[in-house]
Amino acid sequence: MGFVRPTRRSRAWRPLVGFVSVIAVALGVAAYPLTKAQRAPDAQHPQQAGQPVNPYAMAAHIAGARVAAVAGDSRAAEAHVRAIAHDLARSTRVPDVFRPIDHEAARTAVRPLAGVRSAVWLDAANFVVMVDGAQHRSMGMIDRVCLALEPLGDTLAVVVNLQDVTAKNPDGTMTLSRNCQLPEGQRAFMQAKRQVDVVSPELRRTFKAQQGQ
């Protein structure tokens, strides 16, 4: 009885697996810029966090990490893993602790902005910017402050608080606050909402409603 040599399927499948992985990378990389461009910041709008993870980018990084691992390129595989971690952190509103913003550098960066009179940090997260006039107390000014801070580090860790030093009425004296990369009212992961004004906005609205009645 002759000896029948078993079929080695692993060698036959290896080129196919590699081919599929390369195709996955190509598809993910091709589609990723299209989706990324829709949410990319421009010269007037700061970076945005808290968005769902881009599935095309995630697929591209996963496939890329696998291909790099098979090829023995540990640096490329590590880069893909770091990119995945970065995208997940931004989606879950976790600031990058390795890119903190220097407080004195932040004050220097916003000083040349039109309408800014002075700036001070209340704590590690809350950046108070005093502006000269009601026209500068706006979300647009917060955007300009955040754009000025972006080269210094991760602005997801910063809440900008605008105060009009020339305000003549109670409403004008209220602080306008927003996290640089999130919609108004939202905060980054583990970032507490600090009450900057002596009278809270909720209490002020209740008092005005009672006066109207």
Residue with tokens 């079929």: 7
Q: How many CA atoms lie within 13 A of 77 on its CB side?
A: 10
CA distance 186 to 24: 36
* Cα–Cα distances in angstroms (integers) from residue 117 to residues 45, 112, 113, 125, in the given order: 22, 9, 9, 20
Higher pLDDT, 118 or 212: 118
The predicted-structure confidence for 185-202, as pLDDT tens digits, reads as follows 999 999 998 888 765 566
The predicted-structure confidence for 69-90, as pLDDT tens digits, reads as follows 888 888 888 888 888 878 888 8
What is the predicted pLDDT for the residue at 198?
62
Residue with tokens 């808290």: 50
Contact 170, 134 (CB under 8 A): no
Nearest to 38 by CA among 21, 25, 51: 51
Mean pLDDT confidence for 152-176: 92
Name the strand (E) or helix (H) holding 56: helix 55-71
| pTM metric for this prediction | 0.70
Q: In this structure, which topology does domain 103-193 adopt according to CATH? A: GMP Synthetase; Chain A, domain 3 (3.30.300)
List the chain domain ranges: 9-91, 103-193
Higher pLDDT, 139 or 89: 139
What is the predicted pLDDT for the residue at 23?
45
